[in-house]
Amino acid sequence: MKSIFILAVSLSAPCLASFSSFHTTSRENGQFLKTHFTVSDRAQFHIGCGIGEDYKGFKIIGLRHPRLYPWYGVSNIELSIDGSQKVKIEGGSKQYDDMYYAKNPPKEILEQVFNGNLVEVLLFNREERVTFSLDGSHKVYTKLWKECGL
């Protein structure tokens, strides 16, 4: 009985992994996107940078979540870093994609992400909250900004 209870508790608690995974997308014309992400439950929190069609650098904050797959368009999500005041950032998702991107979020938010410990993301009109560890985000910041020349 005790082992069943422990298993149920561990499955319901968020998994707070560090930024240990990355994703890169490149195109022949020089465009690319590099993100590093951390995982909590079935969701991923991405920070990244890239070079766009205009050959200018950009920064992103992203969220991958299974419930985003049928949704697309432009919307806001709310972030709270280390329990601070919630901040809205605007972004969007393409149809049949489970990834939400906020391109060039405010510098202050990125600074909080790179210096924080935890980020709580509120989505779907505050119906769902996902918490992610920001462990290792400062190393990711240094690496990404060197790669993207920002």
Q: Where are the domains of the chain?
A: 2-148
Tell me which of 1.25.40.10, 3.30.2420.10, 2.170.150.20, 2.60.40.1880 is the CATH number of domain 2-148.
2.60.40.1880
pTM of the shown model:
0.80
Give the pLDDT confidence score for residue 145 in this predicted structure. Answer: 81
What is the amino acid identity at position 134? L
What local confidence, expressed as pLDDT, does residue 46 receive? 92
* Geometric angle at alpha carbon 107, from 56 and 15, rounded to 5°: 105
Closest among 46, 51, 119, 127 to 79, alpha carbons compared: 119
Distance CA 150, CA 58 (A): 8
pLDDT at 99: 86
Q: What is the mean pLDDT of each run of 10 residues along the chain (150 residues)?
A: 36 55 77 87 89 88 83 85 90 84 90 91 78 90 80
DSSP 16: -
Characterize 58-84 residue by residue with b for buried, 16 or more Cβ atoms within 10 angstroms of its Cβ, and e for exposed. bbbbbbbbeebeebeeebebbbbbeee
